[in-house]
Every structure is written in structure tokens, then in C-alpha cells.
Amino acid sequence: MAGVTTPPSRSAGIGPGPVLALAYPMSLGVFDDYEGAQQAVDYLSDHEFPVENCMIVGTDLKQIERVTGRLTTGRVALGGLLSGIWLGLFVGLIFSLFAQPADAIVMILGVVFFGALFGLVWALLGYALTRGRRDFVSVSQVVATRYEVLTEHKLAEQARDLLAARTDRQQD
């Protein structure tokens, strides 16, 4: 069929899905923090604007990593040991469901022991393979530096009028 084109298919997980997309979005404003954008949408909602046609989009993303402490062999060993104990306890409890009641406690303790041993060895092996390239523990977070409120183009004028009335009231 000459001249017939189909829209490109969207790969799974790439780009916003239909629930997170607007057909023709228009900006209502850019805010320095999420609370400002949220308050604008809340104001629109309070004035019966169809907020299901709005989006808050975080832009200018940056990653923040907070170092929480040193990573030592002892800390790695303790973490691996505790993780192994929990895994062993979980597996042991499941196995005990199929064991004789008299053998259940022994089975649970045995599996917990092997889980602890496995967790300890696995954690120390993983730590040794890093060769000291990352001897610290941290948590990271991706945050936006600006937040833009968008709405469908058909409703943009109505939303802007409502938000302008809000701004006028705040100045009075």
C-alpha cells in the first residue's frame, strides 16, 4: 500500500505512556519547587478545572549522592551475615512447613546457619572484587530543579485565567 504510513511504535519503557502524556500540552507556568506547582494545580482543582488534563513535569534533573559513612570489611561482613540470617530464616520457615514437627526447629536453625555463612562469604567476596574503588556507603536521589505545569491546549486559556485571578488575589 503506497503512501500509507503508520506512527512509529513506542518501545516498552521509553517515553511517557498514554496515561502520562497529553496530546498537545501547553505550559501554565514554571515553579522553583514542587510545592509551588502542586499549589497551582490544587488551586485549579478547587475552582473545578478538569485537572486530569494537567501534568507536573520536573525539569533540569540532577543526581544528589549523600555519603553516609565508610565501608569497612567489618561493616560488609556484618551486613552480609545479617542478610544471610534473614534469608536462612525465610527459607528455613518454608522448609519447616514440610518437615516433621520435632525436626522443624533443627531444620530452621541449620538453614539459618548456612544462610548466614552464605551471606557472609558472598558479601566479602563482592567487597574484595571492588578492590577498594568504592569504600563508602551512600544514598542517592534524582531531583528536579524546576517544575513546569502543563495542560491540554484547549484548556490552557481557561487555566491561565484562573491562575491569573489567583495571582491578583495574592497581590491584594
Q: Rounded distance, CA 148 to CA 50, Å?
A: 17
Q: What is the pLDDT of residue 101?
A: 82
User: Residue with C-alpha cell 488575589?
Assistant: 169
Q: What is the pLDDT of residue 23?
A: 86
pLDDT, tens digit (0-9, with 9 covering 90-100), for 81-109: 999 999 999 999 998 888 888 888 888 99
Task: Count the Cβ atoms, other than its own, within 10 Å of residue 121.
Answer: 14
- 55-89 in b/e form (b: 16+ CB < 10 A) is bbbeeeeeeeeeeeeebeeeebbebbbebbbebbb
Q: What is the pLDDT of residue 19?
A: 67
User: Residue with C-alpha cell 548456612?
Assistant: 114
Of 17-26, 38-47, 86-95, 145-154, give the lowest mean pLDDT range.
Answer: 17-26
Phi, psi of 31 (to 5 degrees): -125, 150
Q: What is the pLDDT of residue 92?
A: 93
Contact 53, 156 (CB under 8 A): no
pLDDT, tens digit (0-9, with 9 covering 90-100), for 134-145: 889 899 999 999
Q: Rounded distance, CA 42 to CA 66, Å?
A: 32
Q: The CATH number of 18-66+142-171 is which of 3.10.450, 3.30.70, 3.30.450, 3.40.50?
A: 3.30.70
pLDDT, tens digit (0-9, with 9 covering 90-100), for 103-127: 888 889 999 999 999 999 999 999 9
pLDDT band at 13 (very low <50, low <70, confident <90, very high): very low
Domain boundaries of the chain, sorted by first residue? 18-66+142-171, 72-134
pLDDT of residue 12 exceeding 80 = no
Q: What is the pLDDT of residue 16?
A: 56
Helix locations, 12-155, DSSP H: 34-46, 73-96, 101-130
pLDDT band at 165 (very low <50, low <70, confident <90, very high): confident
Q: What is the pLDDT of residue 98?
A: 87
Q: What is the pLDDT of residue 87?
A: 95
Q: What is the pLDDT of residue 11?
A: 44
Going by the DSSP 8-state scheme, the letter that residue 72 receives in this structure is -
Q: How far apart are the first and last CA of the chain?
A: 64
Which cell numbers hold the place of 72?
569497612
Q: What is the pLDDT of residue 169?
A: 67
Contact 51, 44 (CB under 8 A): yes
